[in-house]
């Protein structure tokens, strides 16, 4: 062991990174900003969608049938829940502290990933199911406002889009399950 | 970000870059290019966490914690991306390192460390860095008694690898 320590010490002198400190500082600041933008990007897109719904409601559905109003609520409330869940997720993500010890950090990551998995799994599927019901409820009223071929196109296109979204959601869940597995492996390693 | 934080970051970088580089190199079995990338990730994380540095632990312990967590996250991302087994990447990398870059002894040492499990690699590097057991326990988050047993086992494993590997 003493030999190894000696070797390690000798090697320390050679451990010189090929990095400029000022350039790294700039890179770190850029990364921090883009990370914040990325985190809130999803919330922004969902909020814009919700705003679009509200405009659409006041423009076309406020004097509409009860069915279309119910459809609107069924579509909008889950979207609002999704926005709230996304904000909670960001807050949970920010509470993960890289300067905690490895055991605590791993524990926080497991909780966070489990939350993301729940959000991307059951929550998203429920939202999509409700969204689909709401969509077709609104289509009934919408049929009075636009031409028949457009309604047919929208009704046929919806399942295709929904299928693509479900595939994307499944991919995300699979990735989160893999992350959870790898994190639990670290748990075992640290504890063993 | 304040000028004081920028100064603190640059001071920490100049003081601990060697330590972080060595841990990164050891973790990646001697690949200096990858270690350079990993070092950058560590210091980007240090910059992000810097406003929360209250001086409750020593800067060395604080930086070691960030380094350990970044190393484990880095490996998890690699595994997740390529679905490779734990040692595949470092082994391939070590095979192409010429002896002119890393001396035979050191290459052997890095290679041996690379055979260990990821957390064991980090623990043994802290031992080699002559960190005290309470400090290592503080970085990893396990009791000192458990850590002593663990380190004893890692040393045995490392000895076996160095003799037979």
Task: Quote the pLDDT of residue A42.
Answer: 82
**pLDDT tens readout for residues A149-182:** 888 998 889 999 888 988 887 887 777 777 777 7
Cβ proximity of A130 and A190 under 8 Å: no
Task: Quote the pLDDT of residue B57.
Answer: 84
As for the ipTM of the complex, it is: 0.81
Which CATH code for domain B3-164? 1.10.1740.10
The more confidently predicted of residues B64 and A82 is B64
Distance from CA of A45 to the nearest CA of B (A): 26
Please state, in angstroms and rounded to a whole number, the distance separating the CA atoms of residues B112 and A123.
Answer: 46
Task: Quote the pLDDT of residue B99.
Answer: 41
Q: How big is the A-B interface in CB pairs under 8 Å?
A: 135
Mean of per-residue pLDDT scores for chain A: 86
The more confidently predicted of residues A39 and B116 is B116
| All structural domains of chain A with their residue ranges | 20-191
Q: Token digits for B162?
A: 């160095």
CA distances for B107 relative to A8, A157, B104, angstroms:
11, 59, 5
Task: Quote the pLDDT of residue B5.
Answer: 86
**pLDDT tens readout for residues B32-70:** 899 999 999 999 999 999 998 888 889 999 999 999 999
| All structural domains of chain B with their residue ranges | 3-164
Q: What is the pTM of this model?
A: 0.81
Greatest alpha-carbon span in chain A: 85
Residues 1-20 of B with CB under 8 A from A: 1, 6, 9-10, 13-14, 17-20
Greatest alpha-carbon span in chain B: 53
Q: Token digits for B76?
A: 């998890």
């Amino acid at each position: 062991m003493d030999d190894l320590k000696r070797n390690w010490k000798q090697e320390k002198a050679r451990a010189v990174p090929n990095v400029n400190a000022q350039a790294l500082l700039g890179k770190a600041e850029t990364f921090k900003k883009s990370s914040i933008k990325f985190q809130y990007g999803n919330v922004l897109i969902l909020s814009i969608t919700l705003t679009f719904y509200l405009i659409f409601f006041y423009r076309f559905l406020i004097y509409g049938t009860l069915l279309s109003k119910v459809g609107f609520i069924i579509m909008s409330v889950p979207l609002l829940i999704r926005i709230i869940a996304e904000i909670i997720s960001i807050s949970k993500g920010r509470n993960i502290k890289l300067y905690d010890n490895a055991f605590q950090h791993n524990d926080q990551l497991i909780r966070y990933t489990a939350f993301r998995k729940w959000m991307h799994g059951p929550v998203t599927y429920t939202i999509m199911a409700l969204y689909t019901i709401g969509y077709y409820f609104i289509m009934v009223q919408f049929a009075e406002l636009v031409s028949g071929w457009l309604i047919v196109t929208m009704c046929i296109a919806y399942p295709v889009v929904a299928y693509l979204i479900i595939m994307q959601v499944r991919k995300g869940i699979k990735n989160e399950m893999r992350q959870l597995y790898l994190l639990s492996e670290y748990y075992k390693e640290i504890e063993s | 970000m304040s000028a004081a934080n920028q100064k603190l970051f640059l001071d920490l970088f100049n003081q601990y870059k060697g330590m972080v580089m060595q841990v990164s190199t050891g973790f990646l079995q001697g690949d200096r290019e990858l270690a350079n990338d990993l070092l950058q990730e560590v210091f980007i994380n240090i910059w992000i966490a810097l406003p929360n540095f209250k001086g409750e632990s020593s800067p060395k312990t604080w930086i070691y914690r960030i380094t350990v967590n970044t190393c484990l996250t880095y490996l998890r991302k690699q595994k997740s991306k390529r679905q490779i087994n734990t040692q595949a990447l470092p082994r391939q990398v070590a095979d192409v390192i010429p002896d002119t870059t890393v001396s035979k002894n050191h290459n052997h040492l890095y290679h041996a460390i690379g055979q260990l499990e990821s957390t064991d690699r980090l623990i043994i590097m802290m031992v080699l860095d002559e960190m005290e057991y309470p400090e290592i326990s503080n970085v990893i988050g396990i009791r000192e008694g458990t850590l002593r047993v663990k380190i004893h086992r890692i040393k045995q494993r490392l000895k076996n690898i160095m003799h037979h590997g």
